[in-house]
Amino acid sequence: MIKIDYNAELARLMTEAQGDLGDAHEIHMRLKQTIASMRAEGLPVPEDFKYLDAELDAEFEARAKDD
């Protein structure tokens, strides 16, 4: 079984979100996949992951309303 360092994954996603390595939708999708993997493994989802996911959800909803 492959062990994933979820803290490192979050740090990488945050770095990419701040830079130009990927667009926000791609990063959000990968964050959701990471959260789903953690839940499937029975691991608790860190509050940082939940917060970032909620923030991105809200941002995309606001953008959709403006369009």
Q: Is 17 exposed, middle or buried (0-12, 13-18, 19+ CB in 10 A)?
A: middle
Query: Domain extents for the chain?
Result: 6-66
Predicted confidence (pLDDT) at residue 27 exceeds the cutoff of 70: yes
Q: Is 20 exposed, middle or buried (0-12, 13-18, 19+ CB in 10 A)?
A: exposed
**21 or 31: which leads in pLDDT:** 31
The model's pTM is: 0.70
Q: What is the pLDDT of residues 39-55, one digit of tens each?
A: 999 999 988 889 889 98
Q: Quick one: pLDDT at residue 23? A: 76
